[in-house]
Structure 1
Amino acid sequence: MVLTAFDVGGSDEDFDLLVVDEAHRLNQRANQPSGPLNKKFRDITVKLFGEDDTSKTQLDWIAAKSNHQIFLLDAGQSVRPADVPAEHLHQLVATAKSTDRYSGLASQMRVRAGADYVDYIRNMLGGPVEIELAPDFGEYDLRMFDDIAEMREEIRKRDAEVGLARLVAGFAWEWKTKYDKDAYDIVIDDVHLRWNGTQTDWIASPLSLEEVGSIHTVQGYDLNYAGVIIGPDLRFDVDTNRIVFHRSSYFDKKGKENNPARGLTYSDDDLLRYVTNIYTVLLTRGIRGTYVYVSDPALRTHLSGLMLASS
Structure 2
Amino acid sequence: MQASISAATFKLADQAALSPAQQRLEAQLLTFITAHLNQAQPGLFVIHGDAGTGKSAVLAAAFSQLQARSRDSKPTALQGTDNYLVVNHNEMLKIYKRLAADDPDLRKKDFQKPTPLINRLTKQERQADVVFIDEAHLLLTQPDRYNKFTGQNQLSELIKRSRVVVLVFDTRQVLKLKSYWQANDLQPFLDQYPHQTFNLDQQFRVTGNQQVVDWIDSFGQGHLLPRPTDPNFDFKIFADGQPMYDLIRQKDRHGGLARMVATADFPYVVNHGTWYVTAGSLKLPWDKVNLTDDPWALRPETLNEVGSIYTIQGFDLNYAGVILGPSVGYDEVHDRVIVKPDKYEDQEAFKNRDDLGQLEPLKRAIIFNSINVLMKRGRYGLYLYAVDPVLRRHLLAL
Q: TM-score range by the shorter chain?
A: 0.7 to 0.9
Match for residue 181 of structure 2 among 81, 85, 89: 85
Superposition deviation, residue 7 in structure 1:
2.4
Match for residue 241 of structure 1 among 319, 335, 340: 335
The answer to whether the 8 A contact 1:222-1:287 is kept is yes
| Residue in 2 that maps onto 1:4 | 113
Matches of 2:285 and 2:224 in 1, distance apart?
33
Gaps of 5+ in 1: 46-55
- Code of the residue aligned with 1:61 in structure 2: it is E
Task: For residue 19 of structure 1, give the secondary structure of its aligned residue in structure 2.
Answer: strand
Are residues 1:197 and 2:288 paired?
A: yes
1:138-149 maps to which residues of 2 (within 5 A)?
Answer: 138-149=231-242
The answer to whether the 8 A contact 2:270-2:289 is kept is no
Q: Which has the bigger relative contact order, CA under 8 A and spacing at least 6?
A: 1
Q: Which moved more, 1:172-181 or 1:148-157?
A: 172-181
TM-score of the pair, normalised by structure 2: 0.64
Matches of 1:100 and 1:304 in 2, distance apart?
47
Are residues 1:109 and 2:204 paired?
A: yes
Matches of 1:106 and 1:188 in 2, distance apart?
34
| Residue in 1 that maps onto 2:306 | 212
Moved over 6 A (4+): none
Matches of 1:152 and 1:204 in 2, distance apart?
18
Match for residue 63 of structure 1 among 144, 156, 159: 159
Coordinate RMSD, CA, aligned: 2.8
- Code of the residue aligned with 1:79 in structure 2: it is L
Superposition deviation, residue 125 in structure 1:
2.2
Matches of 1:167 and 1:180 in 2, distance apart?
20
Superposition deviation, residue 180 in structure 1:
2.8
The answer to whether the 8 A contact 1:107-1:115 is kept is no
| Residue in 2 that maps onto 1:188 | 279
Inter-CA distance 195–147: structure 2 relative to 1 (3 Å threshold): same
The answer to whether the 8 A contact 2:327-2:341 is kept is yes
Superposition deviation, residue 214 in structure 1:
0.7
Q: Alpha-carbon deviations, 1:177-208, whole Å to 9, x = none?
A: 84234xx5123333221001233522122420
- Code of the residue aligned with 2:247 in structure 1: it is E
Inter-CA distance 92–108: structure 2 relative to 1 (3 Å threshold): farther
The answer to whether the 8 A contact 1:172-1:250 is kept is yes
TM-score of the pair, normalised by structure 1: 0.81
Task: For residue 107 of structure 1, give the secondary structure of its aligned residue in structure 2.
Answer: coil
Are residues 1:164 and 2:272 paired?
A: no
Are residues 1:299 and 2:391 paired?
A: yes
Q: Alpha-carbon deviations, 1:277-311, whole Å to 9, x = none?
A: 11111111111111111111222233445xx4xxx
Superposition deviation, residue 264 in structure 1:
5.3
How many residues align? The count is 282
| Residue in 2 that maps onto 1:53 | none
Matches of 1:72 and 1:177 in 2, distance apart?
29
Matches of 2:210 and 2:190 in 1, distance apart?
24
Inter-CA distance 14–249: structure 2 relative to 1 (3 Å threshold): same
Superposition deviation, residue 150 in structure 1:
0.6
Inter-CA distance 228–8: structure 2 relative to 1 (3 Å threshold): same
Q: In percent, how many aligned pairs have the same letter?
A: 28
